[in-house]
Amino acid sequence: MPATKSIGPWPPALGPQIIARAPLRISFGGGGTDLAAYYERHEGLVVSAAIGRYCTVTVTDTPDGGMRIVSADYGVEETYAPGELPQVAEPLALPKAVLEWFVSRGHLPVGGFALHLSSEVPPGTGLGSSSAMTVALIRALAARARLVLDAAAVAELASWIEITRLGMPIGKQDQYASAFGGLNTIDFRADGVTVRPLTLDAPMRAALDERLLLFSTGQRRDSATILGQQRQATGTDALTIARLGRLKALAAEMVATLHDGDLDLFGRLLDVAWREKRGLSSRVSSAAIDRWYEAALAAGALGGKITGAGGGGFLLLYSPPGAAPTVRAALARDDLRELPFAFDRLGARIEGAQGGAVVSTNRQQAPPGGEGGGVFAAED
């Protein structure tokens, strides 16, 4: 079970309102190797980027000393009397689990504040919104508690809450991508996680940003079922293990092509990896997704994938220079709507106002690593 120790004072006077934002992410390669069932035996590797679309948590005072949780995405509001700690159950099990962690360890009192949760994209669309919301909640409540956690500590705590406390059959890539921000390779091992930034010069980063297109399929997907099947198969099925190994190798190739500046080859590797990933589960793709993807390729895209575990959500495409208008037109004919985005470099952060002064911070004092940089550690 997680534990923390403080490594220094939080900046003073954040005021009665605290706003935390955590970016969503797009994963390029290696998805599935961040599941413990795989990386504890074989090591995992994911290439991903945080994007400038966010989950936001706002903490405000409540004058009556009670507690309130409001989710704009689900249209749910729950109110609790002073001293009443919400039981961790649906609806809103995720914020309740984060609250439980802070209150049970004495970091926060029971009550006196309200939480308002919102996301720029609907839940269940493959951009890591559940983990980004968890990360934003941790950032916001840590600020309220004057508890300083570095990015690795936030990511590891978010992983513990989602995977261990709530029993979600997911991996760790989303939490780390959101907490750290940027374009990264993330290594997963039994003894910890390492985040390594992919350093591209400004023109190369801008070119990659411009050539990646993101379209909503309008379909929600059941990632828990897909990942649950994959987690089970990873422990017993040699074909699944071999396929994940190939996906990991392709992720490493993507890193090499980005370092070499060969963006079009990177796009083609997305295509190879997507066709490989579809073999993990019959639920990863669908007839409609296959049709949209092939239409995009026919219009000039070099590769792409469904974000997240698959089955719906967003279609990510790599479009070489000059092809984007044709690709957009092809998908518009099927009523797929584009979601413009840019890369996020900062990761989860606090954005609060006190007397007109804006406070913005994403502390990363400790090196990224498996034990939370010394701020967060796992108890037996």
Catalytic residues: 174
Q: Which two tokens stand for residue 139?
A: 């950032």
Nearest-Å Rg of the Cα atoms of the chain is 20
CA–CA dist 206, 172 (Å, integer): 27
CA–CA dist 156, 151 (Å, integer): 9
CA–CA dist 112, 234 (Å, integer): 45
Q: Which two tokens stand for residue 52?
A: 């400038």
| Distance separating the N- and C-terminal Cα atoms of the chain | 7
Q: What is the DSSP string of 59-120?
A: EEE-TTS-EEEEETTTTEEEEE-TTPPPPS-SSSHHHHHHHHHHHHTTSS-SSSEEEEEEES
In angstroms, the Cα distances linking 175 to 4, 159, 202, 365 are: 18, 6, 26, 18
